[in-house]
């Protein structure tokens, strides 16, 4: 059939054709058109080469996880038999010779009423045939980080329509279902939305049919009656319902990084997934109702309805993360990606974007260590919590939270390939389902191991101060990095406390001389000065240590909450600091030990004491003998001799009228 120019006004076109077609020839031609259409409008039985050509392929369906199975071609009305008073129905396409985007006008020649392609009119408006995508349909690649969708969508305004669509319960015919859905839909967007919501919530993925494809049908009426299908059926039902609603829609096929996808894999052979493009407000948009409806388990035996808004009118620069159409024009991108680029690109699933994440580095799925280390970073819009698993554990990494993302250094302790998963969740996780969700997956190839970067098992991720610790009241940290290096085994950290909180600290290590819980606390000394807190740390020996910091409201009688931790490293094997003196409940938070700081006093020596204390009447140091301290401004000073004793106590007389003393500090004396 030749081409001819036309105006959009039907009355301006006059066509006189005499066609003599035998009924059986008409049927044969229509079947051939169904099974061998080009990419512009092909069925399941052909495969486009990206240039509008087709090559014969066995008819097959597609599924959620990147496998195909047999299916029937798109459902269409069978040819109308010629009768004595009826001409044969022939569809004629009229379009310009150039390839610019345009509407294709379908005319029905012969006697009888005009029919829509694939179904009777039955009160529905005429649907124009899908036009190919053009320049105005294209979006820039890479993503400009502006919106997750390809057009403005106010989800709040659609809530009533969504609720209505979910309640529609019509399964006797596709036509009746569409009529029911359109009762509350006025705009084209609302029509598409109602169809989308209904399919996503009423059609389930057919895991049984996936395993038994000989019994599978993807015809819209069969999908509706069965209430389940594979992706081919989802896409055909969506296309058919949109056509009935007067919306241009096209089923697309291609490769997908779905269920069963392995990081870094290549794609060969037939396409393995189907989805749709829909024409709204003068532009093509992409959606995937299969992935919008839910997910299957790892064994591919159970489907769970779990609505996913992300795949409704997804921005093409994001859709290309896991959907690669057979015809590159349907990427709707400028420039388009090659299959090799699609394979090599990092997979960002829907969780990545719906949690407000923006970018990840590296942007390739396979990372090779350099000197035993691999690094990953993620950018996001606002405070997000992260965690990671390297071969199922978070022991061999160092993750730090940033105000707009996170940074992670990985130190595998074995060579070979390691699966690295990154998880995220909102910082204000109030909903029940706000759990950590996998957002990225890498393969780390480790060629050499850095044994020096073995971390204590007590190290919790993330490490170091962050916006999260600030939110808990720890401001302006003196050490902003997660690792503190000390050569002499001592370090001092300071914070400004923005809240009226009590702080608890403890020190941990994996060495053979592991610290008891009590001794772990006594190697950290707290000093409070108004809203400032200083943490003095004296390490008992060289090695890697974890400094954990807890807090609770002073008015809260409950337990302390874990806030964050540091990694403290000391390589000096000469280091051997004793613990700080043991304090009792009468030692108030704003008291301060100036000397002696060591909790282990030398034997047979005079030891100078200087303690900053307030609100007490007398202070005594009890050794073999009792030594009173003298008040000098806000300090109590004096000397004690350690001869003949194993322990030294500091006691306070809180009220001059009382006769009893309270213990506040305890020191030990070296054995001779």
Among 508-512, 562-566, 589-593, the range of highest mean pLDDT: 562-566
The string over 436-462, giving b where at least 16 C-beta atoms fall within 10 Å of a residue's C-beta and e elsewhere, is: bbebbbbebebeebeeebebbebbebb
pLDDT in tens, 345-360: 999 999 999 999 999 9
Give the percent of the chain with pLDDT over 90: 69
pLDDT of amino acid 516: 86
Distance CA 78, CA 628 (A): 109
Q: Is the peptide bond before 227 cis (omega within 30 degrees of 0)?
A: no
CA separation (Å) from 3 to 36, 42, 91, 365? 20, 20, 14, 48
Distance CA 326, CA 347 (A): 19
pLDDT of 533 higher than 70: yes
Q: Which residues are catalytic?
A: 231, 273, 288
pLDDT of 89 higher than 80: no
pLDDT of 30 higher than 50: no
- Which own/partner contact pairs does 626-630 have at CB distance under 8 Å and 24+ positions apart? none
What contacts 393, CB < 8 A, 6 or more positions away? Answer: none
Cβ count within 10 A of residue 85: 7
Q: Which has the minimum average pLDDT: 57-61, 373-377, 549-553, 635-639?
A: 57-61
Local structure of residue 171 (DSSP, 8 states): -
Q: Mean pLDDT over residues 299-312, rounded?
A: 94
Distance CA 244, CA 240 (A): 6
Q: Hey, which residues does 567 pair with through a beta bridge? A: 483, 546
pLDDT of amino acid 66: 38
pLDDT of amino acid 513: 64
Domain 582-669, CATH among 3.30.70.3040, 1.10.3720.10, 3.40.50.1100, 2.60.40.10: 2.60.40.10
Distance CA 565, CA 483 (A): 10
Q: Mean pLDDT over residues 116-140, rounded?
A: 73
Q: Are 450 and 376 in contact (CB under 8 A)?
A: no
**pTM confidence score:** 0.75
Q: Hey, which residues does 622 pair with through a beta bridge? A: 626, 649
Question: Chain-centre distance of CA 421, in angstroms?
Answer: 11
Q: Hey, which residues does 637 pair with through a beta bridge? A: 610, 630
For CA atoms 106, 112, 115, 121, give the dihedral sign.
positive
pLDDT in tens, 148-174: 999 999 999 999 999 999 999 999 999
pLDDT of 328 higher than 50: yes
pLDDT in tens, 624-633: 999 999 999 8
Instruction: Find the DSSP H helices in 302-428.
Output: 316-319, 339-344, 350-354
Q: Which has the minimum average pLDDT: 36-45, 323-332, 415-424?
A: 36-45
pLDDT in tens, 482-512: 999 999 999 999 999 998 899 999 999 987 6
For CA atoms 280, 59, 274, 220, give the dihedral sign.
positive
pLDDT of 207 higher than 50: yes
Q: Hey, which residues does 275 pair with through a beta bridge? A: 252
pLDDT of 222 higher than 80: yes
pLDDT of amino acid 28: 37
Question: Chain-centre distance of CA 49, in angstroms?
Answer: 34
CA separation (Å) from 337 to 186, 341, 449, 545? 36, 6, 36, 48
Q: Are 230 and 218 in contact (CB under 8 A)?
A: yes
Distance CA 144, CA 550 (A): 41
Residue 133: enclosing H or E segment and its boundaries?
none
Name which residue leads in pLDDT, 527 or 92.
527
pLDDT of amino acid 125: 65
Angle, vertex CA 229, rays to CA 307 and CA 173, nearest 5:
95
Q: Mean pLDDT over residues 83-105, rounded?
A: 36
Looking at CATH, the fold of the domain delimited by 137-342 is given as C8orf32 fold (3.10.620)
Distance CA 228, CA 289 (A): 12
At 221, is the secondary structure helix, strand, or coil?
helix
**Domain assignments of the chain as residue spans, ordered by start:** 137-342, 352-446, 467-570, 582-669
pLDDT of 3 higher than 90: no
Q: Are 251 and 233 in contact (CB under 8 A)?
A: no
Q: Mean pLDDT over residues 41-50, rounded?
A: 36
Q: What is the DSSP string of 410-423?
A: E--SSSEEEEEEEE
What contacts 632, CB < 8 A, 6 or more positions away? Answer: none
pLDDT in tens, 386-397: 999 999 898 899
pLDDT in tens, 234-249: 999 999 999 999 999 9
pLDDT of amino acid 633: 86
Residue 14: enclosing H or E segment and its boundaries?
none
Q: What is the DSSP string of 612-653?
A: E--S-SEEEEESSSEEEPEEETTEEEEEEE-TT-SEEEEEEE
pLDDT of amino acid 52: 35
pLDDT in tens, 55-86: 333 333 334 433 333 333 333 333 333 333 33
Same fold across 137-342 and 352-446: no
pLDDT of amino acid 73: 31
What CATH class is the domain 467-570?
Answer: mainly beta
Q: Hey, which residues does 626 pair with through a beta bridge? A: 622
Q: Is CATH 2.60.40.10 the classification given to domain 352-446?
A: yes
Name which residue leads in pLDDT, 260 or 108.
260
Mean per-residue pLDDT over the chain, rounded = 83
Distance CA 310, CA 292 (A): 7
Distance CA 489, CA 575 (A): 6
Name which residue leads in pLDDT, 8 or 422.
422
Local structure of residue 124 (DSSP, 8 states): P
Closest to 278 (Cα-Cα) out of 417, 406, 133: 133
Distance CA 486, CA 352 (A): 38
How are beta strands 303-305 and 294-296 bridged, if at all?
Answer: antiparallel
Burial group, residue 167, by CB count within 10 angstroms (0-12, 13-18, 19+): exposed
At 425, is the secondary structure helix, strand, or coil?
strand
pLDDT in tens, 333-387: 999 999 999 999 999 999 999 999 999 999 999 999 999 999 999 999 888 999 9
Cβ count within 10 A of residue 264: 13
pLDDT of amino acid 659: 77
pLDDT of amino acid 518: 86
At 183, is the secondary structure helix, strand, or coil?
coil
pLDDT of amino acid 433: 60
pLDDT of amino acid 300: 87
């Amino acid at each position: 059939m030749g081409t001819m120019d036309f105006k959009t006004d039907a009355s301006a076109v006059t066509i006189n054709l005499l066609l003599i077609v035998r009924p059986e020839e008409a049927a044969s031609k229509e079947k051939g058109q169904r099974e061998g259409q080009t990419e512009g409008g092909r069925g399941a039985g052909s495969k486009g080469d990206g240039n509008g050509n087709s090559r014969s392929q066995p008819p097959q369906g597609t599924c959620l996880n990147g496998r195909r199975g047999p299916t029937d071609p798109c459902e269409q009305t069978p040819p109308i038999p010629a009768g004595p008073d009826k001409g044969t129905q022939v569809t004629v396409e009229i379009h310009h010779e150039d390839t610019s985007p345009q509407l294709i006008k379908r005319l029905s020649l012969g006697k009888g009423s005009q029919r829509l392609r694939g179904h009777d009119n039955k009160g529905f408006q005429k649907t124009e045939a899908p036009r190919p995508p053009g320049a105005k349909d294209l979006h820039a690649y890479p993503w400009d980080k502006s919106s997750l969708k390809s057009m403005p969508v106010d989800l709040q305004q659609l809530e009533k329509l969504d609720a209505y669509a979910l309640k529609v319960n019509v399964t006797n015919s596709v036509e009746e279902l569409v009529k029911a859905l359109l009762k509350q839909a006025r705009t084209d967007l609302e029509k598409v939305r109602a169809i989308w919501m209904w399919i996503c919530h009423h059609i389930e993925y057919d895991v049984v049919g996936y395993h038994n494809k000989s019994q599978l049908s993807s015809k819209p009426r069969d999908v509706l009656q069965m209430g389940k299908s594979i992706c081919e059926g989802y896409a055909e039902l969506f296309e058919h319902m949109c056509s009935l609603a007067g919306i241009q829609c096209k089923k697309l096929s291609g490769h997908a990084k779905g269920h069963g996808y392995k990081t870094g894999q290549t794609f060969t052979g037939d396409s393995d997934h189907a989805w749709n493009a829909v024409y709204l407000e003068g532009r093509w948009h992409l959606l995937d109702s299969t992935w919008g409806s839910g997910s299957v388990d790892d064994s591919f035996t159970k489907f769970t309805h779990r609505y996913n808004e992300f795949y409704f009118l997804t921005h093409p620069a994001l859709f290309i993360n896991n959907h690669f159409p057979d015809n590159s024009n349907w990427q709707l991108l400028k420039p388009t990606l090659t299959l090799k680029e699609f394979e090599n690109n990092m997979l960002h699933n829907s969780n990545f974007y719906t949690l407000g994440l923006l970018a990840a580095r590296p942007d390739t799925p396979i990372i090779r260590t350099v000197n035993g280390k691999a690094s990953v970073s993620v950018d996001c819009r606002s405070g997000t919590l992260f965690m990671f698993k390297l071969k199922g554990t978070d022991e061999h990494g160092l993750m730090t939270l940033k105000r707009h993302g996170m940074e992670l250094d990985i130190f595998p302790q074995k060579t070979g390939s390691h699966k690295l998963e990154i998880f995220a969740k909102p910082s204000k996780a109030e909903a029940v389902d706000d759990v950590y969700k996998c957002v990225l997956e890498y393969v780390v190839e480790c060629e050499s191991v850095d044994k020096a970067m073995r971390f204590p098992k007590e190290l919790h991720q993330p490490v170091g101060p962050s916006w999260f610790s600030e939110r808990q009241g720890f401001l302006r940290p003196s050490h902003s990095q997660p690792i503190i290096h000390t050569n002499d085994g001592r370090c001092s950290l300071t914070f400004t406390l923005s809240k009226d909180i009590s702080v608890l600290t403890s020190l941990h290590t994996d060495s053979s001389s592991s610290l008891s819980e009590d001794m772990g606390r006594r190697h950290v000394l707290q000093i409070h000065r108004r809203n400032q807190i200083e943490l003095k740390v004296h390490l008992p020996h060289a090695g890697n240590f974890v400094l954990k910091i807890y807090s609770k409201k002073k008015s809260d009688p409950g337990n302390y909450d874990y806030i964050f931790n540091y990694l403290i490293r000391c390589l000096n094997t000469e280091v051997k600091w004793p613990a700080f003196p043991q304090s009792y409940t009468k030692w108030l938070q704003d008291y301060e030990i100036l000397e002696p700081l060591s909790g282990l006093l030398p034997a047979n020596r005079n030891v100078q004491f200087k303690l900053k204390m307030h609100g007490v009447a007398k202070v005594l140091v009890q050794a073999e003998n009792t030594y009173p301290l003298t008040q000098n401004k806000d300090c109590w000073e004096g000397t004690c001799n350690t001869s003949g004793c194993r322990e030294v106590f500091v006691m306070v007389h809180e009220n001059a009228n009382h006769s009893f003393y309270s213990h506040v500090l305890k020191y030990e004396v070296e054995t001779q």
